[in-house]
Amino acid sequence: MKISVVGTGYVGLVTGTCLSEVGVEVTCVDINTEKIESLKKGIMPIYEPGLEEMVIRNYKRQRLNFTTDLGESIQGAELVFIAVGTPPGEDGSADLKYVLAVADEIGRKMTDYLVIVTKSTVPVGTAKKVKKTIEDALSARGKSIPFDVASNPEFLKEGAAIDDFMKPDRIVVGVESEKAQEILSRLYKPFTLNGHPVIFMDIPSAEMTKYAANAMLATRISFMNEIANLCELAGADVNMVRKGIGSDPRIGSKFLYSGIGYGGSCFPKDVKALIKTGKELGHELKILEAVEEVNEAQKEKMFEKILRHFKGEIQEKRFAIWGLSFKPNTDDMREAPSLVIIEKLLKHGAQVVAYDPVAMNEAKKHYLGDSIEYARDEYDALADADALVLVTEWAVFRAPSFKVIKKLLKQPVIFDGRNIYDRKELREMGFAYYGVGVV
Ligand SMILES: NC(=O)c1ccc[n+]([C@@H]2O[C@H](COP(=O)([O-])OP(=O)(O)OC[C@H]3O[C@@H](n4cnc5c(N)ncnc54)[C@H](O)[C@@H]3O)[C@@H](O)[C@H]2O)c1
Ligand SMILES: O=c1ccn([C@@H]2O[C@H](COP(=O)(O)OP(=O)(O)O[C@H]3O[C@H](CO)[C@@H](O)[C@H](O)[C@H]3O)[C@@H](O)[C@H]2O)c(=O)[nH]1
């Protein structure tokens, strides 16, 4: 089977690579020439564990190709995925300009039947717009080539993308023709052999499923952050509460970790986009408005603890930040909570020195990137710092030598944004310790 994947970012590159791994002939397309040329040389545009080996292996086998020429990529293909970005517009709605530009190009270049599948996260009704855009482009050419549209939202998590794609819990596909369903069944058969289903449904339901999934997960996180804040006031320990409620199978133990607010390229933008869809349809999504509000406030909570500890006097104090990416195992800095903490520290005249195992290059591209120092390793960041602020729970930060930390810091103070340290042990060692949802 031959397919084309348009957009070679996190989703497009992982999708194309994993499909080529099971034997599909894949061409990945991007308008970014530099990205495509680098990929041909085996240089990855993103950090994603396991991706590089898989790309190189399948490129060598010629089952995975890279091009900037969309027209060439769809020659002889049965299916094309649209996997370009859908960033938030000014009003919070998903900006569809990249998706529709690709649809238009497909309409201008297709020569045979194709299933056009949106893999990007797009609001309900987008497949209809994609269909209309392709029809318009075909009619401008005076052509009538049959095609189907479908929706196949992606649920991979950054940092675990290969595993999530290769071993999906489920694959959601919205279709409106038997032919499209047959082609997508055939494409995904290798991923269903261990019992994980492809759930076929109508297209609007598939489009909505993606937003509902992310909104539900974001809601759990904001809910737990609220409970954590209450625990601090009530003298309870949110870690215990999490275990206590997570063992109820109706609740489940995943995505119940309180911290410094959710970030990344998906939850913040998708919650906003769903709120906007609600507004457009005359329905106020009150829960999601609260989810967002709680998240924004949560990103500032650790900074407030820092200010309180130093009695508001942080000017010229030096803070060591461990972790910059929005979560471990990725270099993605989009909506990273680290940026909020760093910005606040800098605004109050503090100095910041950061260490991240992977994301420092990405951080340097950010507008705050020049305003901070970067350390060689996690201990180097601590020299002469007044406190350690743990922001991203990378494995390398999980069991450090607290003796060394104590020696290096000017004052033994730890702000643990992810509750990964044992506060009792640290306090016994003489540290001032601040976590989330614990006193
Ligand atoms: N990042 C994730 O973890 C994730 C997971 C699930 C779903 N999604 C959704 O998938 C979509 C893509 O996200 P991403 O993080 O992969 O984005 P990304 O920004 O990493 O990649 C998008 C790519 O599309 C390319 N592109 C833009 N216009 C193009 C065009 N006309 N032709 C060819 N290429 C073009 C860009 O150059 C870029 O390389 C979004 O809708 C996102 O919400 C993302
Ligand atoms: O218990 C938890 C779990 C996560 N987070 C935070 O939530 C954010 C998102 O984490 P995660 O979901 O692991 O990463 P993403 O790569 O953004 O993946 C989400 O967004 C993707 C894009 O839509 C979806 O495909 C995935 O299913 C969905 O999990 C990060 O800031 C995490 O630190 C918490 O604070 N507490």
Determine, yes or no, domain membership for 250: no
Percentage, residues of the chain above pLDDT 70 = 100
Backbone angles phi, psi at 280, to 5 degrees: -60, -30
Same domain? For 310 and 419 the reply is yes
**CA 157–ligand 2 middle distance (angstroms):** 7
Alpha-carbon dihedral of residues 21, 26, 29, 32, nearest 10 degrees?
30
Helices 267-280 and 203-234 pack at an angle, to 10 degrees, of 120
Determine, yes or no, domain membership for 342: yes
Same domain? For 190 and 317 the reply is no
Number of domains in the chain: 2
Same domain? For 26 and 134 the reply is yes
Percentage, residues of the chain above pLDDT 90 = 96
pLDDT at position 176 over 90:
yes
Closest listed ligand to the CA of 298: 2
pLDDT at position 195 over 80:
yes
Does ligand 1 have an atom closer than 6 angstroms to the CB of 86? yes
Same domain? For 54 and 173 the reply is yes
Determine, yes or no, domain membership for 34: yes
Same domain? For 72 and 172 the reply is yes
pLDDT score, position 249? 98
Interatomic CA distance for residues 433 and 423, integer angstroms = 6
CATH number at residue 196: 3.40.50.720
> Which residue, 224, 222, 332, 349, is CA-closest to 286?
222
CA atoms within 13 A on the CB side of 326: 17
pLDDT score, position 369? 80
The DSSP letter of residue 236 is -
pLDDT tier, 56 (very low <50, low <70, confident <90, very high otherwise): very high
pLDDT tier, 292 (very low <50, low <70, confident <90, very high otherwise): very high
pLDDT score, position 104? 98
Residue-range definition of the domain harbouring residue 73: 2-200
CB atoms within 10 A of CB 366: 18
pLDDT score, position 368? 81
In this structure, which residue's CA is closest to atom 18 in ligand 2?
Answer: 157
Residue type, 27: T
Interatomic CA distance for residues 267 and 262, integer angstroms = 7
Determine, yes or no, domain membership for 246: no
Interatomic CA distance for residues 259 and 437, integer angstroms = 8
Per the annotation, does 403 bind a ligand?
no
Determine, yes or no, domain membership for 214: no
Mutate to test the pocket of ligand 1, among 67, 73, 93, 265 (most ligand atoms within 8 A of CB): 265
Same domain? For 289 and 427 the reply is yes
Long-range CB contacts for residues 285-291, cutoff 8 Å, separation at least 24: 287/219, 288/215, 288/218, 288/219, 290/222, 291/215, 291/218, 291/219, 291/222
Same domain? For 16 and 161 the reply is yes
For 4, 15, 54, 67, 151, the CA distances from 76, given in Å and listed in that order, are 10, 19, 24, 15, 21
Kindly give the residue spans of alpha helices, DSSP state H, lying in 236-359.
Answer: 238-246, 267-280, 286-309, 337-347
Does ligand 1 have an atom closer than 6 angstroms to the CB of 101? yes
> Which residue, 151, 146, 90, is CA-closest to 124?
151
Which residues does residue 80 pair with via DSSP β-bridges, in sequence order?
A: 4, 116
Per the annotation, does 263 bind a ligand?
yes
Alpha-carbon dihedral of residues 106, 108, 111, 116, nearest 10 degrees?
20
Closest listed ligand to the CA of 32: 1
pLDDT digits (tens, 9 = 90+) for 214-243: 999 999 999 999 999 999 999 999 999 999
Listed in sequence order, the residues at least 6 apart from 325 whose beta carbon sits closer than 8 Å to its beta carbon are: 331, 332, 333, 336, 338, 356, 358, 359, 362, 392
pLDDT at position 366 over 90:
no
pLDDT at position 200 over 90:
yes
Does ligand 1 have an atom closer than 6 angstroms to the CB of 29? yes
Listed residues 200, 221, 249: the one ending a domain: 200
pLDDT digits (tens, 9 = 90+) for 414-423: 999 999 999 9
pLDDT at position 367 over 80:
no
**CA 213–ligand 2 middle distance (angstroms):** 11
Same domain? For 353 and 274 the reply is yes
Rounded to the nearest integer, the mean pLDDT of the chain is 97
Query: Which residues approach ligand 2 with their CB closer than 6 A?
Result: 121, 154-158, 214, 217, 221, 255-257, 259, 262-264, 266-267, 326-327
pLDDT score, position 284? 97
* Predicted structure pTM score: 0.96
Same domain? For 285 and 146 the reply is no
Same domain? For 48 and 195 the reply is yes
Determine, yes or no, domain membership for 351: yes
pLDDT at position 194 over 90:
no
CA atoms within 13 A on the CB side of 212: 8
**CA 414–ligand 1 middle distance (angstroms):** 37
Per the annotation, does 27 bind a ligand?
no
Q: Residues of 333-357 as b/e, b for ≥16 C-beta within 10 angstroms? A: bbbbbbbbbbebbeebebbbbbbbb
The DSSP letter of residue 118 is E
Q: Could you tell me where the beta strands, DSSP code E, fall in 52-151? A: 64-67, 79-82, 114-118, 147-151
Same domain? For 180 and 283 the reply is no
**CA 127–ligand 1 middle distance (angstroms):** 17
Listed residues 174, 200, 226: the one ending a domain: 200
Does ligand 1 have an atom closer than 6 angstroms to the CB of 102? yes
Interatomic CA distance for residues 209 and 123, integer angstroms = 10
Is 231 a catalytic site residue? no
Same domain? For 7 and 141 the reply is yes
**CA 132–ligand 2 middle distance (angstroms):** 33
Determine, yes or no, domain membership for 237: no
User: Are 354 and 373 spatial neighbours (Cβ–Cβ below 8 Å)?
Assistant: yes
The DSSP letter of residue 92 is S
Q: Looking at 18, 28, 231, 266, which residue is catalytic?
A: 266
Report the phi/psi class of residue 7: left, alpha or beta, with left for phi > 0 and alpha for psi in -120 to 50. left
pLDDT tier, 370 (very low <50, low <70, confident <90, very high otherwise): confident
Report the phi/psi class of residue 156: left, alpha or beta, with left for phi > 0 and alpha for psi in -120 to 50. beta
Q: Residues of 233-246 as b/e, b for ≥16 C-beta within 10 angstroms? A: eeebbbbebbeeeb
pLDDT at position 196 over 90:
no
pLDDT tier, 20 (very low <50, low <70, confident <90, very high otherwise): very high
pLDDT digits (tens, 9 = 90+) for 255-273: 999 999 999 999 999 999 9
Q: What mean pLDDT do residues 119-126 have?
A: 97
Per the annotation, does 211 bind a ligand?
no
Residue type, 408: L
Determine, yes or no, domain membership for 50: yes
Listed residues 200, 215, 247: the one ending a domain: 200
